[in-house]
Amino acid sequence: MMRRFWAVLIGRNKEFLRDRGALGWNLLFPFFVVFGMAFAFSDKAQDVFKVGVVGEISSLPSGFSSTKHLKFVPFDDKSSALGKLRHHQLDILVSAGRPLTYWVNESSPKGYLVEKIMLGTDAAKFSPERKAVEGRPIRYVDWLVAGLLSMNMMFSALFGVGYTLVRYRKNGVLKRLKATPLRAAEFLSAQVVSRLILIMSVFAVVYHGSDFFLHFERLGSLFDLYFIFALGSACLVSLGLLVAARVASEELAGGVLNMLSWPMMFLSGVWFSLEGAPRPLRLLADAMPLTHMIDAARAVMTEGATLSQVAPHLYILGGMTALFLAVGAWTFRWD
Residues 200-253 have pLDDT tens digits of: 888 888 888 888 877 787 888 999 999 999 999 999 998 988 888 877 777 777
- Report the distance separating Cα 275 and Cα 47, nearest Å: 13
**At 188, is the secondary structure helix, strand, or coil?**
helix
- Report the distance separating Cα 82 and Cα 113, nearest Å: 18
Helix %, strand %, coil % for the chain, to 5?
Answer: 65, 10, 25
Provide the 10 A C-beta neighbour count for residue 182: 17
Q: Do 216 and 38 form a contact (C-beta atoms < 8 A)?
A: no
Q: Do 250 and 166 form a contact (C-beta atoms < 8 A)?
A: yes
* 17 φ, ψ (degrees, to nearest 5): -65, -25
Provide the 10 A C-beta neighbour count for residue 118: 25
Q: Do 246 and 188 form a contact (C-beta atoms < 8 A)?
A: no
Summarised one tens digit per residue, pLDDT across range 2-36 is 776 667 677 666 665 565 555 455 445 544 554 55
User: Is 235 exposed, middle or buried, given 0-12, 13-18 or 19+ CB atoms closer than 10 A?
Assistant: buried
Measuring CA to CA, which residue among 73, 51, 44, 56 is closest to residue 117? 51
Sheet of strand 129-133: strand arrangement = 70-75, 49-54, 92-95, 101-105, 129-133
- Report the distance separating Cα 116 and Cα 105, nearest Å: 13
pLDDT at residue 323 in the model: 92
- Report the distance separating Cα 119 and Cα 126, nearest Å: 10
pLDDT at residue 23 in the model: 43
Query: What DSSP designation does 52 have?
Result: E
Peptide bond into 312 cis (omega under 30): no
Tens digits of pLDDT across the chain (335 residues): 677 666 767 766 666 556 555 545 544 554 455 455 445 544 444 457 888 898 888 888 888 888 888 888 888 888 878 878 877 778 899 988 777 889 998 878 888 888 888 888 888 888 888 888 876 666 667 777 888 888 888 988 888 787 778 888 878 888 888 878 877 777 888 888 888 888 888 888 888 888 887 778 788 899 999 999 999 999 999 898 888 887 777 777 778 888 888 888 888 888 777 766 677 888 888 899 999 999 999 889 888 889 999 999 999 999 999 998 888 888 887 77
pTM of the model: 0.70
Measuring CA to CA, which residue among 263, 322, 323, 317 is closest to residue 289? 317
pLDDT at residue 32 in the model: 54
- Report the distance separating Cα 39 and Cα 310, nearest Å: 31
pLDDT at residue 227 in the model: 95
pLDDT at residue 225 in the model: 93
Q: How far is CA 105 from CA 47, 49, 78, 113, in A?
A: 19, 14, 15, 11
Distance from the Cα of residue 262 to its chain's centroid: 12
pLDDT at residue 45 in the model: 46
Measuring CA to CA, which residue among 135, 98, 138, 90 is closest to residue 115? 90
Q: Do 235 and 319 form a contact (C-beta atoms < 8 A)?
A: no
β pairing state of 49-54 and 92-95: parallel
Measuring CA to CA, which residue among 180, 307, 306, 174 is closest to residue 241? 174
